[in-house]
Amino acid sequence: MVLRPALPQDAEALAALARESFEAAFGTLYKPDDLASFYETERSAERYRAHIADPATRIKVAEKQGALVAYALIVLGQGLEGRPEPRPEYPVYLSQLYCAPSATGQGLGAALLEWAIAEARTWGADAVQLSVYSENFGAQRFYRRYGFEHVADIDFWVGSQRDHEFLYELAL
């Protein structure tokens, strides 16, 4: 496995991996129209090209035998709405951490999360924030093992459907 920064030519593969991973984990929760809208606005190749070009965004990919199998996307200086006081001054938002269904359980999520935390520290962040689906108990356990705490309840929209999410935060 190779961990490397995302390149502009990875945009199509990132979009495909994001959709495949999201669909496998949550696809049954949404109407097809809501999923299509979410994918078009939030998980498109154009969106990933914009992320890659944004100096405040970092994407690290895991590549196995030439194919992308996991990635993490962080945004420097961005926090999530809904956090009660005191709010971090210099947060990093872990926006996405996805692994292909065929590659789960191989330590990729852990390697990418450790990269995200290290990158946040290097940047001088005082916290890393993320959102996790309220019924994704495995992900909640995973993040708690790294010291993340549930600090607020927030909303996450997929098309016209609102999901109950938890805002998790790791103080640095």
For 97-132, how does the pLDDT look when each residue is reduced to its tens digit (9 = 90+)?
A: 999 999 888 999 999 999 999 999 999 999 999 999
Euclidean distance between CA atoms 110 and 107, whole angstroms: 5
What confidence category does residue 84 fall into, taking pLDDT thresholds of 50, 70 and 90? confident
What integer pLDDT is reported at residue 148 of this predicted model? 98
pTM of the model: 0.94
pLDDT cut 90: percent of the chain above it? 88
Domain 2-171: CATH superfamily, name plus number: Gcn5-related N-acetyltransferase (GNAT) (3.40.630.30)
Can the peptide bond before residue 86 be classed as cis, meaning omega within 30 degrees of 0? yes
List the chain domain ranges: 2-171
Euclidean distance between CA atoms 93 and 79, whole angstroms: 6
Ramachandran angles phi, psi of 98, nearest 5°? -125, 145
CB 61 within 8 A of CB 109: no
Quick one: three-class SS letters along the chain?
Answer: CEEEECCHHHHHHHHHHHHHHHHHHHHHHCCHHHHHHHHHHHCCHHHHHHHHHCCCEEEEEEEECCEEEEEEEEEECCCCCCCCCCCCCCEEEEEEEEECHHHCCCCHHHHHHHHHHHHHHHHCCCEEEEEEECCCHHHHHHHHHCCCEEEEEEEEEECCEEEEEEEEEEEC
